[in-house]
Amino acid sequence: MKPVVKIGGSLLRSASDFIKAAEFILSFKEPPVVVVSAIKGVTDMLLELEKTRSYLMYEEILHRHLAVARPLGVEEAVTPLLKELEESLRLPRAEWTADHFASFGERLSAAILYAVLRRAGAKASLYVAPIRTDSKFGNAEPQRLEAKDEIAEPGVVAVVTGFIGRDGEGRFTTVGRGGSDYTATYIGKEIGARKVSLITDAPGVMTTDPREVEDAAVLPFLSIQEAVEAAKVGAKNFHPRTFLPVVEGDMAVEVRNYHSRGTLIANIYPPPPYKIVTKCGQGSCVVGLAASDLTKLGGTPLGRYSVRLNIPPRQAHEFLVKPYIKYIYW
Ligand code: ADP
Ligand code: ASP
Ligand code: MG
């Protein structure tokens, strides 16, 4: 079965980033399903645009995309979408307009990547929001994958927009911020993929946020149950439902950058006992197979494999996770 590869927005900033993404996709023996996020920062700008309807903000978004598409020779892939976005500025605000505006981020980046792949001579098809969802705008739930057989067709790269879907009335919806990973695992489950690769700018799932704690380490393995709970407590900005499609079925997920071995998330129960620390309000959340032991130290249980502690993340990482880091091996 075709693999699913999600390219994160953190890796999509410039024209050369799209070339790197295309080269990576073309290096697969079996052409994958590629789930594409919006260019870094664009979703925030689109949501701001929906609120302000500022023409200056529109022009900033336009220039960002033209600066990427022009040097790649694929300007015609974005001009109709940018025109549609400009026309959307006149839409009166409604419950569905925030998602409508946000949808342009993934529609634009997927159109660029698709055009780059075609220019490189690849056999590829583009699918815009093939996920049918309910109408909970901003937090929609996938219900069905349309065009499943075409997307799963071997021998063709299927470029799919992440994050967005359409409701029964054909209106764009979004599954919630950071949701491209979730749409990738959902599509993986629907097509029966064995592996979903979430490609990001971090080398893998790390023991804590590397921007906050310098000695955060990459976890080589994580169980699916730990990943489910890690996403719920906000690890790596994962959408809280990212790993639910992985619970049933026979699918593994890897989180990595273009070069690292990354983290394998599968039906395994690996050490170390405490794996991930996140910031939870004033305290921290600790995820790991042995996390429930921490209730003896005053931790509040959050799930089978996660607890909340009243100490800062740096301290929880130092005392609970760091002592085991030296035993983490590949
Ligand atoms: P993408 O959607 O491209 O994967 P995100 O911004 O959603 O990008 O997530 C990647 C960022 O998450 C990394 O740059 C890293 O700094 C941050 N991050 C926070 N916590 C973790 C963690 N536990 N493991 C890995 N990355 C983390
Ligand atoms: N572009 C969306 C966001 O910024 C989805 C994602 O990147 O995962 O939330
Ligand atoms: Mg993300």
Ligand 2 within 6 A of CB of 43: yes
- The Cα–Cα gap between 102 and 31 comes to 28
Q: Ligand 2, closest atom to CA 180?
A: 8
User: Does residue 201 have its Cβ closer than 6 Å to ligand 1?
Assistant: yes
Sign of the CA dihedral with 297 first, then 300, 301, and 302 last:
negative
SS3 248: coil
Residue appearing with tokens 């990001």: 200
Which residues of the chain does CATH 3.40.1160.10 include? 4-201
Query: Whose alpha carbon is nearest atom 27 of ligand 1?
Result: 236
Find the distance separating the first CA and the last CA of the chain, reported in whole Å: 27
| 264 CB near ligand 1 (under 6 Å) | no
217 lines ligand 1 (CB under 6 A): no
**DSSP helix/strand/coil, 129:** coil
Nearest-angstrom CA–CA distance, 253 and 204: 11
Whether 226 lines ligand 1, by a CB cut-off of 6 Å, is no
C-alpha distances out from residue 212 to 10, 182, 208, 278, 283, Å: 18, 25, 8, 10, 14
pLDDT score at 225: 97
Whether the CB-CB separation of 253 and 195 falls below 8 Å is answered with: yes
- Report the separation in Å between the CA atom of 273 and the middle of ligand 2, taken as the mean of its atom positions: 31
Residue 92, class by beta-carbon neighbours within 10 Å (0-12 exposed, 13-18 middle, 19+ buried)? exposed
3-state secondary structure of 164: strand
CB atoms within 10 A of CB 95: 11
Q: Please give the pLDDT value at position 84.
A: 98
Q: Is 38 in the pocket of ligand 2 (CB under 6 A)?
A: yes
For ligand 2, atom 5, which residue shows the shortest CA distance? 178
Kindly report the CATH number that applies to the domain delimited by 4-201. Answer: 3.40.1160.10
* Residue 132 to residues 84, 100, 144, 191, 219, Cα–Cα distance (Å): 22, 15, 5, 15, 34
Provide the b/e sequence for 112-135 (b: ≥16 CB within 10 Å). bbbbbbbeeebebbbbbbbbbbee
pLDDT at 329: 65
Contacts of 191 (CB under 8 A, 6+ apart): 1, 2, 4, 33, 145, 148, 151, 152
Q: What is the DSSP letter of 119?
A: H
Question: Residue 290: its pLDDT value, please?
Answer: 96
Q: How far is CA 97 from CA 14, 80, 94, 165, 281, in A?
A: 28, 19, 5, 14, 31
Note the pTM of the prediction, 2 decimals.
0.98
Low-confidence ranges of the chain (pLDDT < 50): none
DSSP secondary structure letters along 36-73: EPPSTTHHHHHHHHHHH--HHHHHHHHHHHHHHHHHHT
Pocket probe for ligand 1: among 163, 185, 209, the residue whose CB has the most ligand atoms within 8 Å is: 209
Neighbours of 152 (CB within 10 A): 18
> So what's the pLDDT on residue 330?
57
